[in-house]
Amino acid sequence: MQYKEMLDKIASGNGFIAALDQSGGSTPKALKGYGIEESAYSGDEEMFGRIHQMRSRIISSPVFTGDKVIGAILFERTMDGEVGGKPTPAALIEKGVVPFIKIDKGLEDEANGVQMMKPMPELDTLLARAKSLGVFGTKERSVINSANAEGIAAIVAQQFEVGKQVLAAGLMPMLEPEINIKSTTRAECDTIMRDEILKQLDALPEGTQVMLKLSIPAVAGTHDALVDHPKVLRVVALSGGYSRPDACAELAKNRGMIASFSRALLEELRAQMSDAEFDASLGAAIDEIFAASTQKSLATA
């Protein structure tokens, strides 16, 4: 797929985006969920080797194709690795799956109810390497914990600032100001964030587009204005700690939003499974998430 084909697939393709980008502190938890205890590996290299084996198994599975999985977000080490003897982005593209790369370097301590992204001094170098490998877009995460208008405005501004740097490098930014679904002011966070995003979108040059990766809103339909905005290529949803059935039920209430799930996609996969068991479990998860992304139950909203 060339860039235009990837753009069209992400803009209008039926399906969802797999988030295969667990990194750093979340890797041991992801491996434990996969059935690999910390005692089974020693040091970061072995740990990242194990998680790459898991991701390779997922990407190599016959059920993981561009028919239902239109994109996949990779951790930097995964992007630089290989699947089936090919660079990971090339292996995805061969299966009709558009590759993205996680670019953030983690979160700052909470201030004003939010956690901003840490500095990314080597971002331009990473973006150039990603583009050379055929990667289409990026993803960057920060977190909103409470309805502090000043904090939310700052976090959205930072997301767009980094997004413009990504656009300048010829890649598509996926902005992810995640709202903590356990926040006691979640619905208020949703509306403040949406309105700040709309301000930033309106300030972008005509013809510019970004993607948004957002928590599923507390009130269905809250993000309709973002879905409809001409400067938004696609709005995708994170599972945010929901179980897969709950995440899918909530997602299905929101028109125009497709999934970009991580834990909710992988939660039933185990290293000890036979290939047939693994493929059956992954296939069932893909089908359920695909349905929530493409078949909406708006009457229940």
User: What residues are annotated to the active site?
Assistant: 176, 213
In whole angstroms, what is the distance from residue 145 CA to residue 107 CA?
A: 13
| CA distance between the termini of the chain | 37
Taking the CB of residue 18, how many other CB atoms lie within 10 A of it? 30
Residues 6+ apart with CB under 8 A from 247: 216, 237, 239, 240, 259, 261, 264, 292
For residue 179, what are the β-bridge partners? 144
Is 49 within 8 Å of 103 (Cβ atoms)? no
The residues facing 114 across adjacent strands are: 111, 144
Round to whole Å and give the CA distance between 137 and 89: 11
